[in-house]
Structure 1
Amino acid sequence: MWPAVKAMLHSVYDQPTATAVHEQFDRLLEYTEGRLPKVADHLGDAREDLLAFTGFPDDVWRQIWSNNPTERLNREIRRRTDVVGIFPNRDAIIRLIGAVLAEQTDEWAEGRRYLGLEVLNRCRLTPTTDTTTTPEATTDPLIELPA
């Protein structure tokens, strides 16, 4: 049943609006409830985390739920460690990976951002609805990020 569940889960992320995303997720839960109750329970418990991206502007959804930056970083670490081959001790590999991470941090801080400041600022100004709190608790003033 995994291919069908996987296809339905992917279809959740293909929806154009937040309402459509939530409706498709409901259909996924209905589909799995009778056939795979443990999967339905797991997905139901993870609903808030899985659909958190819908609280942001829809043009940045793909960047939010993509793991491309993590995969790119892992490939760079793998490439650097493959060049060295054998490390004399654990501290040597930690130093190399630490240097790679510091280099990546510098690159991202200097402007090669996956989500630029203007996008983050726009995301921060987008009102979100938190289903776990009362409406009074979600009226906190929004903080603008520096431009």
Structure 2
Amino acid sequence: GRRQILGFYIGGQESSNGWKDVLKDLYNRGVHEVLLGVFDGLPGLDEAFKEAYPQADVQHCIVHKVRSTFPKIRVQDKTDFINDLKTIYNALDDVCALAAFDTFKDKWVKRYPKEVKSWEDQLSTLLTFYQYPEEIKDAIYTSNPIERMNKEIRKRLKPMNSLTNMDAAEKIVYLDVIAYNERFESRV
């Protein structure tokens, strides 16, 4: 029930091989039982995760999916389209969510077939959060908390253009991670 950063890794481009290394490191450090991975849709990450944790569920970030869909919708349709999407991921349960998707699909498939198909193809991993208690829904339907932390770290490092080397930058990130974990230690 607590949020905690378990590690940070310095690397280049995000790739499935890079994520395999991260997940292998976490596993080797004792993270053996994982119930759920929440991802932004990076290709290959799901497979790397399922390789490390085959019993775990996958939840794709709803916020990222909405953001990737939004630019493809005509201006005059954006409000209605997004409001109709909200009926899916704000439904009372997975049965209602699936019914809401059917209504959404019927309304929009002719105008936006690719976007509707994209949602339909990922629907099972976009709605995984319905398999978990309502109390934690807001914590698991999006990857935004870690995205926010990454943004805070980048903001902190950017003005420090006088950092002497990578070790100095890593020390600042480490201290930020420790402070983050301490802040959230007692929250549930």
Please classify the TM superposition score into its range, dividing by the shorter chain length.
0.5 to 0.7
- The superposition leaves residues 69-109 of structure 1 with CA deviations (integer Å, 9 ceiling, x where unpaired) of 2254235314532563543445533442244234434655x
- The superposition leaves residues 1-53 of structure 1 with CA deviations (integer Å, 9 ceiling, x where unpaired) of 33322221122122222211121122222223211111111111111111111
Count of matched residue pairs: 112
Report 1 or 2 for greater relative contact order, CA contacts < 8 Å, sequence distance ≥ 6: 2
Q: Which residue of 2 aligns with 1:5?
A: 81
Q: TM-score, normalised by structure 2?
A: 0.48
Larger radius of gyration: 1
Structure with the higher fraction of residues in helix conformation: 1
Q: Which structure 1 residue ranges, 4+ long, deviate > 6 Å from structure 2? A: none
The one-letter code matched in structure 2 to 1:10 is K
Name stretches of at least 5 consecutive residues in structure 2 with no aligned partner: 1-76
Identical counterparts, % of pairs: 23
1:46 and 2:161 aligned: no
CA distance in structure 2 between the partners assigned to 1:2 and 1:87 by the alignment: 44
SS of the residue corresponding to residue 35 of structure 1 reads coil
CA distance in structure 2 between the partners assigned to 1:30 and 1:112 by the alignment: 45
Name stretches of at least 5 consecutive residues in structure 1 with no aligned partner: 117-147
Q: TM-score, normalised by structure 1?
A: 0.59
Structure with the higher fraction of residues in strand conformation: 2
Q: Which residue of 1 aligns with 2:176?
A: 100
CA distance in structure 2 between the partners assigned to 1:17 and 1:85 by the alignment: 49
CA distance in structure 1 between the partners assigned to 2:83 and 2:151 by the alignment: 27
Conserved? CA contact 1:53–1:61, under 8 Å:
yes
111, 134, 138: which is aligned to 1:58? Answer: 134
What are the equivalent positions in structure 2 for 1:17-96 lying under 5 Å apart?
A: 17-82=93-158, 84-96=160-172
Conserved? CA contact 1:17–1:58, under 8 Å:
no
